[in-house]
Structure 1
Amino acid sequence: MTALQLKKFLDAKVRLYNQPGFIQDDPISVPHRYTRLQDIEIAGFFAAIFAWGNRKIIIRKSSQLMELMDDAPYDFVRGHQPSDLKRLMTFKHRTFNTTDLLYFIEFFAQFYARHASLEEAFLRGFAAPVALGGDAAGPAAPIEAALNGFYDTFFSLEYAPGRTRKHIASPAKNASCKRINMFLRWMVRNDGKGVDFGVWRRIPASALVCPVDLHVARVARHFGLLQRNVVDWKAALEVTEALRAFDPADPVKYDFALFGLGVTESI
């Protein structure tokens, strides 16, 4: 398959999966229940962080947590009383437990007391992308600094539990950062198709990095978009740079195609 043929094939798959029918069975359905910016951010963040394993379980556990927060996550994190936290004590999703949840809630409470949007937490270290067309480390560098800055911001509270750090990935640890990159795709991309929210304006879609997990990596290797054997940050940059050749302004739209091919069509 030539590069042009591959682009046309992937473009067709993007059109197939990047439409409202995709929402119901995907974790993005959880933040789609809300209209207020901060509710979308909080619900989306939890859904993204929980996004490993079976998608039905991810949606169910994310929904359960939203119900525990009265289906008003922003109001809960900003106005809860200590007694309100008792209902969260039994919540658990895989290795994410009560200790982790209480820290997340406290971070959001303190952060939103000072900022109107979670986007602010990703702007630390972020700068406008350099000119497109360089190597993999070039255009992706601003978002790499943004992800590392977010990690530092998120764990800036003096009593941040050591165990909770494993739930937030960062390029500094050479993690693929699949879940954080997926969350950024949800918040940043604004293509009018009704799936991604596009509620953040200061991070351009051109700066995003493709969310790469084992499924996406397998499909990317199948089409020659990835040579690296391990799924890490360098692999995510390699895939993104290959996709940038197809659409420099919005390379991460192809996440719809790669994920759909890997999960739904099992390539």
Structure 2
Amino acid sequence: MTQSELKEFLDEKVELYNHPNFIESDPIQIPHQFSSREDIEIAGFLAATIAWGNRKMIINNAKKMMDLMGSSPYDFVMSHSDIQLESLENFVHRTFNGKDFVGFIKGLQHIYKNHNGLEAVFSRENPTMQHTISEFKQLFFEIPHLARTEKHISDPMNGSAAKRINMYLRWMVRNDNKGVDLGIWKSITPSKLSCPLDVHSGNVARKLLLLTRKQNDAKALAELDQNLRNLDPNDPVKYDFALFGLGVFEGF
């Protein structure tokens, strides 16, 4: 397959999967439940944080998170009581437990109170968005926290592909005009985004010769990013829909 044929093939798959029907089986439905900017940001961040494992379980547990916050995530983050935090402690999603949930609420409050919110932090000037993700993690955990909770935010500077947080950034930054990605952050250009690299997208990318590295790590992400930018430098992560769709829905 030539590069032009590959681009045509993947562009067709983007059109197929970057469609409102995608929402009903994807965790992106969680931030779509809200209308205010801060609620969308926080709901999306928490849903993306637990986005590993069975997709139905991810969605159900993300809905539980929203219920525990009274379906007002920003208000809960900014003005919760100690008793309200205690109500989170029975939450569990795989290795993310109630104590981690409490730590994330406190970390988010710190980001909004002391760093002007999530978009402001992710809009900081850095060589790449992967450097920005690493800086975000440092800021998020500036306040006292449990060491165990740190593992739930990946650090690309430590070799991680940071799949979940790259997915979150796609949700917030891309305005796809299809009603899937939310595109509420205007200060970041989609050209800076990286593909959420996981087992499905990685395997499909290797079959299409977009990726040669065997591990799904930061080096693999850099290789995939470059090849996707060659196909569309302005919106490389739109191909996440194609790679994910081919892997999950078509068993490519």
Q: TM-score, normalised by structure 2?
A: 0.97
Secondary structure, counterpart of 1:24 in structure 2:
helix
**Can you give the 5+ residue segments of structure 1 that lack an aligned partner in the other structure?**
128-140
| Equivalence map 1:1-267=2 (5 Å) | 1-114=1-114, 116-124=116-124, 126-127=125-126, 141-157=127-143, 159-267=144-252
CA distance in 2, matches of 1:155, 1:80: 19
Shift of 1:110: 2.5
Shift of 1:116: 5.0
CA distance in 1, matches of 2:96, 2:26: 20
Shift of 1:115: 5.0
Is the contact made by 1:37 and 1:117 (CA closer than 8 Å) also made in structure 2? Answer: no
Question: What is the one-letter code of the residue matched to 1:148?
Answer: S
CA distance in 1, matches of 2:119, 2:133: 11
Q: Tell me the residue number matched to 1:132.
A: none
Q: Percent identity?
A: 50
1:40-85 superposed Cα distances (whole Å, 9 cap, x missing partner): 1111011111111111000000001100111111111111111112
Is the contact made by 1:123 and 1:149 (CA closer than 8 Å) also made in structure 2? Answer: no
CA distance in 2, matches of 1:123, 1:8: 32
Question: What is the one-letter code of the residue matched to 2:172?
Answer: M
Shift of 1:123: 3.1
Secondary structure, counterpart of 2:24 in structure 1:
coil
1:171-203 superposed Cα distances (whole Å, 9 cap, x missing partner): 111001000100000001112111111111121
Q: Tell me the residue number matched to 1:133.
A: none
Shift of 1:111: 2.2
Shift of 1:103: 0.8
Q: TM-score, normalised by structure 1?
A: 0.92
Shift of 1:117: 3.3
CA distance in 2, matches of 1:155, 1:84: 21
Is the contact made by 1:107 and 1:154 (CA closer than 8 Å) also made in structure 2? Answer: yes
CA distance in 1, matches of 2:156, 2:140: 15
CA distance in 2, matches of 1:18, 1:210: 14
Is the contact made by 1:39 and 1:72 (CA closer than 8 Å) also made in structure 2? Answer: yes
CA distance in 1, matches of 2:249, 2:10: 14
1:115–1:36 CA distance, 2 compared to 1 (3 A):
farther
Question: What is the one-letter code of the residue matched to 2:61?
Answer: K
Residue correspondences, number: 252
**Can you give the 5+ residue segments of structure 2 that lack an aligned partner in the other structure?**
none
Question: What is the one-letter code of the residue matched to 1:57?
Answer: M
CA distance in 1, matches of 2:134, 2:115: 19
Question: What is the one-letter code of the residue matched to 2:110?
Answer: Q
1:127-162 superposed Cα distances (whole Å, 9 cap, x missing partner): 4xxxxxxxxxxxxx42122111111111111x1211
1:200-259 superposed Cα distances (whole Å, 9 cap, x missing partner): 112110011111011111000000000001110111111111111111000000000000
CA distance in 2, matches of 1:251, 1:89: 39
Q: Tell me the residue number matched to 1:130.
A: none
CA distance in 2, matches of 1:173, 1:163: 16
Hey, which bits of structure 1, 4+ residues long, moved more than 3 A?
114-117
1:4-35 superposed Cα distances (whole Å, 9 cap, x missing partner): 11111100100011111110110000000001
